[in-house]
Amino acid sequence: MADKVLVTGVSGFIAKHIALQLLQKGYDVRGTIRSLNKAFQVKKTLEDAGADVSRLSFVAADLTSDEGWDEAAKDCDGVMHVASPFPVSQPRGRDALTPAARGGAMRVLKAATKASRIVMTSSVAAMAYRPDRPPVATIGEDDWTDPDWKALSPYIISKTAAEKAAWDAAVIGGFKHRLTIVNPSLVLGPPLDDDIGASLDLVRFFMTGAYPAIPPVSFPVVDVRDVAALHVAALENPETGGRRLIASADTLSLKAVADILREAFPDRAKKIPSAVLPAWLVRTAALFDRNLASVVPDLGVAPRAQTDYVTGLTEIRFRPAKEAVIEAATALERLNVI
């Protein structure tokens, strides 16, 4: 068991849950953060969640700079590379997010070469996208997104490039057996504080009436608490070395997400969208709206993630997607985010 674990981007939605579970299990945790001004809030959040923060420390480090990473990884037996750019709105350039995602991964892996276990957060986005997918598309451990597909968003391209670069570095550096990559689907569930992740903006926008209608797309969904638990399990189980672990429960259409929210929160039902846009209209509007363009590859496809092998390796069983949706919205209400 690693005694001290580095968690990159510890102020993030997933990373805070990982840090909490590590602290609760008795690990020392060192978190990287771009600005140490955020350290106090992260510490308070984790303490309020029941963690012993006397074993929590921080180092300033940015994915776009070499500075700070050797200090961050020093004496860490385990490294969790969680930080990655996830934009609320899609940038203009197709490769706009790739340098930070790929370069950041390389900086962390270079600093982590002495760690006995390395766990990196990727995404199902690096597995699921290729032209001419069938209406029900299965996503498995050996699947890769086709980065040359012109329909892809900058985010999908960046996650695919960063993961490919990480595996290449692990093979060349001889540490593939010490590297595990976790590939979550759409991450929902309860945030620990009001600094929410970009994926929760979907729920927030639905609850506040920001979307008048819904594109006809579907996504596999996973609860953030299960994502964190899978990271910890990968850290503790050497048999996951060299593997890609999909973190996902069942698949929901965005209409199903809205229906779940409308039923669970009847006082907000009038704000939650019910109309579904026709696919042709989404494709047309996407010519002028970069955010709508990002869902065009998802039109007409209901992806299904294969996770039985993950449960077999780690004994992690994923909460139902409906629970993750409701828990996310409940927490957003409690935290006065909506």
Give the pLDDT confidence score for residue 314 in this predicted structure.
98
Task: Please state, in angstroms and rounded to a whole number, the distance separating the CA atoms of residues 306 and 88.
Answer: 28
Backbone angles phi, psi at 58, to 5 degrees: -135, 150
Extract the tokens encoding 44. Answer: 């308070």
User: What CATH fold (topology level) applies to the domain 4-334?
Assistant: Rossmann fold (3.40.50)
Overall average pLDDT of the 277-295 stretch: 92
Mean pLDDT to the nearest integer, 275-280: 96
User: Can you give the residue ranges of every domain in the chain?
Assistant: 4-334
Per-residue confidence band for 24, with pLDDT thresholds at 50, 70 and 90:
very high
The rounded percent of the chain whose pLDDT value lies above 90 is 91
pLDDT value at position 83? 86
CA distances (Å), 193 to each of 71, 115, 229, 264, 331, in order?
A: 28, 30, 19, 21, 9
Predicted pLDDT of residue 95: 87
Per-residue confidence (pLDDT) for residue 85, from 0 to 100: 65
pLDDT tens, residue by residue, 214-263: 999 999 999 999 999 999 999 999 999 999 999 999 999 999 999 999 99
Do the beta carbons of residue 117 and residue 228 sit within 8 Å? Answer: no
* Residue 1 reports pLDDT greater than 60: no
The tens digit of pLDDT for each residue in 126-139 reads 999 999 999 999 99
Cite the active site residues.
159
> If you average pLDDT over residues 331-335, what whole number do you get?
97
Query: Tell me, what amino acid is at 26?
Result: G
Phi-psi region of 232 (alpha: psi -120 to 50; beta: other; left: phi over 0): alpha
pLDDT digits (tens, 9 = 90+) for 65-76: 999 999 999 999
Q: C-alpha 134: how far from its chain's center? A: 25
* pLDDT given for residue 221 in this prediction: 98
Contacts of the segment 61-68: beta carbons below 8 A, 24+ positions apart: 61/8, 61/32, 61/33, 61/34, 62/34, 63/8, 63/9, 63/100, 63/101, 63/103, 63/104, 63/107, 63/108, 64/99, 64/100, 64/103, 64/104, 65/107, 66/107, 68/32
Which whole number is the average pLDDT over 78-82? 98
Q: For residue 197, is pLDDT > 90?
A: no
Measured torsion, CA atoms of residues 306, 308, 309, 313, in degrees rounded to the nearest 10: 140
Residue 316 and residue 249 in contact, taking contact as beta carbons nearer than 8 Å = no
Q: How far is CA 223 from CA 9, 128, 191, 276, 334, in A?
A: 19, 19, 10, 25, 18
Using pLDDT thresholds of 50, 70 and 90, give the confidence band for residue 88: low
Decide if pLDDT at 87 tops 80. Answer: no
pTM value is 0.96
pLDDT at residue 84 in the model = 78
Worst-scoring range by mean pLDDT, 170-174, 197-201, 320-324? Answer: 197-201
The tens digit of pLDDT for each residue in 305-317 reads: 999 999 999 999 9
Model pLDDT, residue 178: 97
